[in-house]
């Protein structure tokens, strides 16, 4: 992989660690801030809403800024946010700092994915997206378990000082490895009206619906993975980092498998993976009390989550290639609206008296709905016999070259 993609990977690793590590230290954060675990789950929702709402606004507002300068600025803002979270005195301030940090997160992933697909030929877009997203999955392999262990030994505030250090490393990487450019922005960015018109494409809005279904299947259980493992599977808290590591390993394998499948047979592979995910979640519900089956099932679940996510993002990028700024905002926004909604629904289920064990069942239903939507979309696309748009048909690059 090229050095610019490596820089994007490193920054993605830092962002992914801080987004997902909260699940590993949620009970500690709740105790430290004097709140209940379901209430602490809203820290996940706040982060997701920051990405979903603030990310698109910042991405579109900064459309005329060079992508390199924008990426550097976003990683700096992220690092400052980690320091603020580490010293947050109460739940309200922690909620605010997570929300503000997430704005930088949302804008970063939107811009980074557009840059990534602009660095490679058309036939390798899925793999380029997968490589950047691998920063998220590797964060689950290394960053999240390590951050969870740090929180267990030295307290949850030490976890956020760790993510602050990761932010400094990401700043160094993007400054050193992203090419310099004197252009302030793409010479002729698409108008907002033109970009908004791509939302009428059924491939775009159907992909966003599938994205929402995926987040329900992933984040309703994952937000409360620590209490689920301790209360349902009856594992000790010292086992939680290892289980998160296992999920991360599965996710890392899955993201690259998803990239390959997206470059091969995108829609058939997407539907098959969602059916497998529904089966995996049903088995997690049935085997929730048994440690050994849960080890295998959680690894499979993690891998399928990111395989499906990679395929969805590749499809959106292909069908919004003539509206790159909108694509930059749609992907992280869509995912994190789903994450926020999933965390909220999970909290409501728990407050309503449903146990942690019931959470995977909601994912079963959402994956079946997602499969039906994908089947409808693929059938309509086949009948219309249309190809994804390209900014420049003679070029394999779907985005402007300056970043």
pLDDT, tens digit (0-9, with 9 covering 90-100), for 40-53: 888 887 887 888 77
In order, the DSSP letters of 115-184 are HHHHTS-GGGHHHHHHHHHHHHHHIIIIIHHHHHHHHHHH-HHHHHHHHHHHHHHHHHHHHHHSPP---S
More confidently predicted of 397 and 173:
173
Q: Tell me: the pLDDT tens digits for 72-118?
A: 999 999 999 999 999 999 999 999 999 999 888 888 887 887 777 77
- Comparing 195-199, 311-315, 349-353, 356-360, the range with the smallest average pLDDT is 195-199
The pLDDT assigned to 148 comes to: 86
CATH class of 3-384: mainly alpha
The pLDDT assigned to 54 comes to: 74
Integer Cα distance of 357 and 133 in angstroms? 29
Integer Cα distance of 283 and 41 in angstroms? 25
Residues 6+ apart with CB under 8 A from 27: 37, 40, 226, 227
CB 300 within 8 A of CB 293: no
Backbone angles phi and psi of 402, in degrees to 5: -80, 135
The pLDDT assigned to 375 comes to: 95
- Comparing 89-93, 198-202, 305-309, 394-398, the range with the smallest average pLDDT is 394-398
So where are the chain's domains?
Answer: 3-384
187-202: average pLDDT: 65
């Amino acid at each position: 992989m090229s050095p610019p993609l490596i820089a994007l990977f490193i920054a993605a690793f830092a962002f992914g660690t801080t987004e997902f590590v909260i699940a590993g230290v949620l009970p500690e954060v709740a105790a430290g801030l004097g709140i209940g675990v379901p209430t602490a789950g809203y820290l996940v929702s706040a982060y997701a809403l920051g990405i979903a709402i603030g990310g698109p606004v910042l991405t579109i507002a900064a459309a005329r800024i060079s992508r390199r300068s924008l990426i550097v600025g976003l990683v700096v803002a992220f690092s400052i946010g980690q320091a603020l979270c580490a010293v947050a005195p109460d739940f309200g301030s922690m909620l605010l700092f997570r929300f503000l940090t997430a704005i930088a997160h949302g804008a970063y992933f939107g811009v980074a994915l557009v840059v990534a697909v602009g660095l490679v030929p058309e036939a390798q877009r899925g793999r380029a997206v997968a490589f950047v997203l691998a920063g998220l999955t590797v964060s689950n392999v290394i960053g999240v378990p390590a951050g969870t262990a740090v929180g267990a030994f030295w307290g949850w505030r030490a976890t956020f000082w760790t993510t602050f250090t990761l932010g400094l490393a990401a700043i160094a990487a993007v400054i050193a490895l992203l090419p310099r450019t004197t252009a302030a922005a793409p010479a002729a960015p698409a108008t907002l009206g033109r970009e908004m018109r791509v939302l009428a494409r059924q491939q775009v809005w159907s992909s966003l619906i599938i994205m929402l279904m995926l987040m329900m299947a992933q984040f309703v259980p994952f937000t409360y993975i620590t209490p689920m493992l301790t209360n349902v599977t009856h594992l000790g808290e010292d086992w939680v980092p290892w289980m998160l590591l296992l999920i991360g390993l599965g996710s890392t394998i899955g993201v690259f498998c998803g990239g390959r499948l997206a470059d091969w047979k995108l829609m058939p592979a997407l539907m098959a993976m969602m059916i497998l995910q529904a089966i995996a979640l049903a088995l997690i519900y049935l085997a929730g009390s048994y440690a050994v089956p849960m080890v295998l099932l959680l690894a499979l679940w993690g891998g399928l989550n990111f395989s499906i996510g990679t395929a969805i993002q590749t499809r959106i990028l292909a069908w919004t290639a003539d509206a790159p700024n909108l694509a930059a905002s749609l992907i992280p926004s869509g995912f994190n609206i789903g994450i926020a909604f999933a965390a909220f629904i999970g909290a409501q289920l728990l407050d309503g008296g449903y146990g942690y064990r019931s959470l995977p069942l909601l994912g079963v239903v959402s994956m079946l709905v997602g499969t039906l939507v994908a089947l409808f979309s693929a059938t309509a696309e086949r009948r219309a016999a249309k190809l994804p748009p390209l900014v420049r048909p003679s070029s394999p690059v779907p985005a402007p070259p300056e970043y």
